[in-house]
Structure 1
Amino acid sequence: MADGFLDHVGAVLAGIEAEGLMKREREITSPQGAWVTVAQPGEPGRRMLNLCANNYLGLADDPRLIAAATQATASHGYGMASVRFICGTTDLHRALERRLAAWLGHDDAILFAACFDANGAVFEPLLGEEDAVISDGLNHASIIDGIRLCKARRFRFANGDMADLQAQLQAARAGGARFIMVATDGVFSMDGTFADLGAVRALCDQYGALMMVDDCHATGFIGPKGKGTPAQAGVSADILTGTFGKALGGALGGYVAGAQPVIDLLRQRARPYLFSNALPPAVVGAALAAIDIAEVASDLRARLAENAAHWRAGLEALGFTLLPGHHPIVPVMLGDAPLAQAFARALGEEGILVSAFFFPVVPRGRARIRTQMNAALRREDLDFALAAFGRVGKALGVI
C-alpha cells in the first residue's frame, strides 16, 4: 500500500469525527420487529422499541414470509451461484417478475440485487447523448448515481417545483433532445413528502417526456391495494422501480417494471443485472408471499395510517418541530448534527432505537431524527416513545 495512504484515510476519518458526522452501527441480535434486542458492550442485549426501520407493514418477522423463504430454499437451494443469463434463473424469479408486473400494472418486470442497482441500471441502456434526463433535486442517491452513468444531458429541478420542471422540459426540448426522461422519487425518504405525480405526469405528456418513479417508500402500503404513489395519484409511470427491502418483507432486492421492450432491453444491457448474481430463492419466495399479503392488507395499511397520525399529533403536542406531511416517515427537525446524535443517544438510554440523520445524508443545518411508523407498533408502544421524547427534548432544551 502506498506510503501515506492510510494516514490520509485516517485524517479524513478524524475530520468526520471532529465535525460530529461519524455514523456508528448498532448490532441487533433479534429478528427485526416493533421491538428488537440490541447488543450492549459487556452486558446482555437490551430490548428496545424500534422507530427507525423501513418495516412499514411489520412483515420482516412474519411467520408466513419465513415459511415461504424456508420452502423456497428447500425446493430451489441456497443460492444460484451465477448471473441469470448464464445459469442463475429459476421459475421462481420469473414468477415474481410476472406477479410484480400484474400487481403494478405493467407489461413485465426485471429483478435486481437491490433497488440501488435497479436505479443504477435504468438510465445508461435507455438514454444516449442525444437525450436528456431531468431529476428532482431531492432524488435518492441511487437515481443520482444512475444518471451519472449515462451520457444524456442532465437537468435538475427544485424539489416539487412544477414551474421549474416545466422550464427544464422547455430547455431540454429547445436543446434538441431526442427523448426526455423525468426522474423522481414517489416519496422523498428524508422528508416523508410525496411527489406531485399528477402534475409531473401532465407535464411529461405535454412535452412528450417519459416519467420514471422510484417507489421504494410507498410500494405495499400507499395507494389502492398498496400499488404505490402512481396508483394513489391516478396515473401511470412509464418506468417504476422499487424494493423488497422495506414494506415487502425487509430483506433485499429491487426491480424495474415497465413496457415489454424496455424490460427486454434492460435484460440485454443493464450492467447491474448482467454482472450480479440472481437473487437467492429464499428472498424470491418470501417476496411472492409478501405481495400476496400486501395486496389485501387493508387492515395493516389502516393501522399504519392510524399510528402515523397518532405519532405526529403527539410530537406536535409536545412542541417538536416536524416537517409537514402524512407519510409514516415523520422527521423531527433538530438542525445541529451533534445535537441530533446526542438526542439519539439519550433516547437509546430510554429504550428507544432511533437514528440521527445529518450531512451528507441531509443538507448541513438540517439534521434530524427520522422516525418511522409501522403496522406492528401498538398504541402503548407509541405512548411509551412519546413520553421518552418529551423527557429527552426537555433535558436537551429542544422543547
Structure 2
Amino acid sequence: MTSSTLHDFLEPNLKALREQGLYNEIDSLQGPNGAEIEINGKQLINLSSNNYLGFSNDARLKKSCVEATEEFGVGAGAVRTINGTMTIHDELEKRIAEFKHTEAAIAFQSGFNCNMGAISAVMTKKDAIISDELNHASIIDGCRLSGAKVIRARHQDMDHLRELAKQATESGEYEKVMYISDGVFSMDGDVAKIPEIVEIAQEFGLITYIDDAHGSGVMGGGAGTVKHFGLSDKIDFQIGTLSKAIGVVGGYVAGSRELIDWLKVRARPFLFSTSLTPGSAAACITAFDLMEKEPGTINKLWENGTYLKTGLKELGFDIGHSETPITPCIIGDENLTQKFSRRLLEEGVYAKSIVFPTVPKGTGRVRNMPTAAHTKEMLDQVLAIYEKVGKELGVIS
C-alpha cells in the first residue's frame, strides 16, 4: 500500500499532468513493431517506430539471433570485465569499428548507457562541457553525472559556440573543454553542422562528442552523420544505438583505440551491468552486414521520408526544418496535439504526440517516422487521413 506521503505527492501531480495534456498513455502492441501494428485488435499504419530499416522483423536477423542463442545461451551471465565477454561481443565491436571507420568500438546495453558512461568517464568537475540546448536527455544526464560545468549553447548557432569555446578555453578555469551535440536531432530531424564544429574544435582544442543515435543506419550510407561529412577521423566520440536503424538493442561508442581502452576500465555502465545478450550481438552484426550489402534499403527509407514530407508540406502542415526522414508536424498547444494524435489513431494512423518536457512548452508535435518498410500506398493513406483530421481540428485550412 502506498504511504500517505507518497500518495499526497503522486495524486495531484498525475492529475495536473493529465489536465495539461502532458500525461503519456502507453500502448501495448499485439505483435511485432513493423510498418503496420496491432493495438487493442485494431490494425494501424505505424509512424512512431525507430525501426528505420525494418530490421527488427527481418528473418535474417532473427535467424542470427536464434543461432547465437543456441550456441552461447540466452544471456552472457556476467559483466563484461569479469567473464561476460564472449567472442560474439568481440566480433560485434570489431564490426562496428570497421563500419564506422574508427580504430575501435565498445558496445553498451543501451544508447542511454553510452552517454551516462562515456561522458563521466572522461569529464570531471575540473572540466567544462558545452552542450547544444536541444541535446537528448541522456546527454543532459551524462553531463550532470560527470560533475563538469555545463554551458548551454544555442541550438546549431556556430557563432555562439565559437564565443563560448573562446571564453571557456581562455578563462583558465578548466582542465578540458568538450563540445557535445546530437548528430541528428530526434525531435526536429535537423543535422549537426559537423564541418563547422570540427573547425571550431580544432581552433580551441575542444574534445568533440557526437551522439548519432538517429544518424546511425540513416546518414552516410548507414555509418552516420560524421561519415556523411567525411570527418570520421576528426570526431573524438561517435555514439550510436543498436536499437533504432540497427533494429535490436544496445549502444556503442566508436573512436580511437586509446579512448576505447579507457572506457573499458572507467565507464560505469560497462563495468557494472551484464553484457548484451549473445543473440542481440549476433543480430546486430547481421544488420551491419546487410547495410553494406543492400544499400537499397537505406535509399528506400529516404525516398519514403521525402515523399511523406512533401505531401504533408503541400497540405499546409508545419514540418519544421527536418533534413532527415524524421518528420514532425508541429501543432503547438499540448492539448490540441494530444487530440490530433488520438484522432489519427481513430482513423488508422499511429503517430504519437510529443509534448513537454520532451520538447519546449508550446511546441507540441506529432512526430512521424517513415521507414523503409512502408509502401507508397500506406503513405498515401496516411496523407489522406492527415488532411481529414487537420481540417477537422483547424490545424490546416
Q: TM-score range by the shorter chain?
A: over 0.9
Q: Distance in 2 between matches of 1:88 and 1:184?
A: 32
Partner of 2:288: 291
Structure 2: gaps (5+ residues): none
- Residue 337 of structure 1 and its aligned partner are, at CA, apart by 0.9
Q: Distance in 1 between matches of 2:322 and 2:20?
A: 30
Are 2:168 and 1:172 equivalent residues in the alignment? yes
Partner of 2:195: 198
Q: Distance in 2 between matches of 1:394 and 1:97?
A: 50
Q: What secondary structure sits across from 1:30 in the alignment?
A: coil
Output aligned runs, 1:341-380, within 5 Å.
341-380=338-377
Output aligned runs, 1:203-218, within 5 Å.
203-218=200-215
Pick one of 263, 268, 271 that aligns with 1:274.
271
Q: What secondary structure sits across from 2:56 in the alignment?
A: coil
Q: Deviations over 1:196-248 (max 9, x none)?
A: 0010011001111111000110111211x311101111213211111111000
**One-letter code aligned to 1:167:** E
- Residue 123 of structure 1 and its aligned partner are, at CA, apart by 1.6
Partner of 1:54: 50
Q: Distance in 2 between matches of 1:18 and 1:363?
A: 17
Partner of 2:9: 8
Partner of 1:81: 77
Q: What secondary structure sits across from 1:398 in the alignment?
A: coil
- Residue 4 of structure 1 and its aligned partner are, at CA, apart by 2.0
**One-letter code aligned to 2:245:** A
Q: Distance in 2 between matches of 1:36 and 1:342?
A: 20
TM-score normalised to the size of structure 1? 0.96
- Residue 30 of structure 1 and its aligned partner are, at CA, apart by 1.2
Q: Distance in 1 between matches of 2:124 and 2:38?
A: 49
Partner of 1:336: 333
Q: Distance in 1 between matches of 2:101 and 2:301?
A: 24
Pick one of 238, 241, 248 that aligns with 2:239.
241
Q: What secondary structure sits across from 2:102 in the alignment?
A: coil
Q: Deviations over 1:334-361 (max 9, x none)?
A: 0011111111111111111110000111
Q: Deviations over 1:157-188 (max 9, x none)?
A: 10100010001101111222322211110000
Report % sequence identity. 39
Q: Which moved more, 1:28-37 or 1:2-11?
A: 2-11
Alpha carbons 1:109, 1:256 under 8 Å: kept: yes
Q: Distance in 1 between matches of 2:294 and 2:350?
A: 26
Q: Distance in 1 between matches of 2:42 and 2:123?
A: 50
Q: Deviations over 1:359-383 (max 9, x none)?
A: 1110000000000111011100000
Alpha carbons 1:84, 1:277 under 8 Å: kept: yes
Q: Distance in 1 between matches of 2:57 and 2:4?
A: 48
Q: Distance in 2 between matches of 1:5 and 1:301?
A: 48
- Residue 2 of structure 1 and its aligned partner are, at CA, apart by 4.7
Q: Which moved more, 1:176-185 or 1:201-210?
A: 176-185
Partner of 1:153: 149
Partner of 2:104: 108
Q: Distance in 2 between matches of 1:302 and 1:256?
A: 25
Partner of 1:93: 89
Q: Distance in 2 between matches of 1:238 and 1:202?
A: 13
- Residue 156 of structure 1 and its aligned partner are, at CA, apart by 1.6
Q: What secondary structure sits across from 1:369 in the alignment?
A: strand
TM-score normalised to the size of structure 2? 0.97
**One-letter code aligned to 1:117:** N
Q: Distance in 2 between matches of 1:162 and 1:189?
A: 20
The size of the alignment, in residue pairs, is 392
Q: Deviations over 1:88-145 (max 9, x none)?
A: 1100001101110111011111111101000011122212233221111110000110
Q: What secondary structure sits across from 1:193 in the alignment?
A: coil
Q: Deviations over 1:250-302 (max 9, x none)?
A: x3101111111211111111111111110011110100000101123321121
Alpha carbons 1:182, 1:211 under 8 Å: kept: yes
Cα distance change of structure 1 residues 7 and 151 upon mapping to structure 2, 3 Å threshold? closer
**One-letter code aligned to 2:239:** T
Q: What secondary structure sits across from 2:146 in the alignment?
A: coil
Alpha carbons 1:308, 1:326 under 8 Å: kept: no
Output aligned runs, 1:36-47, within 5 Å.
36-38=37-39, 40=40, 45-47=41-43
Alpha carbons 1:121, 1:146 under 8 Å: kept: yes
**RMSD (Å) for aligned C-alpha atoms:** 1.1
Q: What secondary structure sits across from 1:284 in the alignment?
A: helix
Structure 1: gaps (5+ residues): none
Partner of 1:261: 258
Are 2:386 and 1:389 equivalent residues in the alignment? yes
Q: Which moved more, 1:54-63 or 1:151-160?
A: 151-160
Alpha carbons 1:51, 1:372 under 8 Å: kept: yes
Q: Which moved more, 1:9-18 or 1:93-102?
A: 9-18
Q: Distance in 1 between matches of 2:192 and 2:228?
A: 11
Q: Distance in 1 between matches of 2:229 and 2:155?
A: 18
Partner of 2:25: 24
**One-letter code aligned to 1:30:** G
Alpha carbons 1:59, 1:248 under 8 Å: kept: yes
Q: What secondary structure sits across from 1:26 in the alignment?
A: coil
Are 2:315 and 1:318 equivalent residues in the alignment? yes
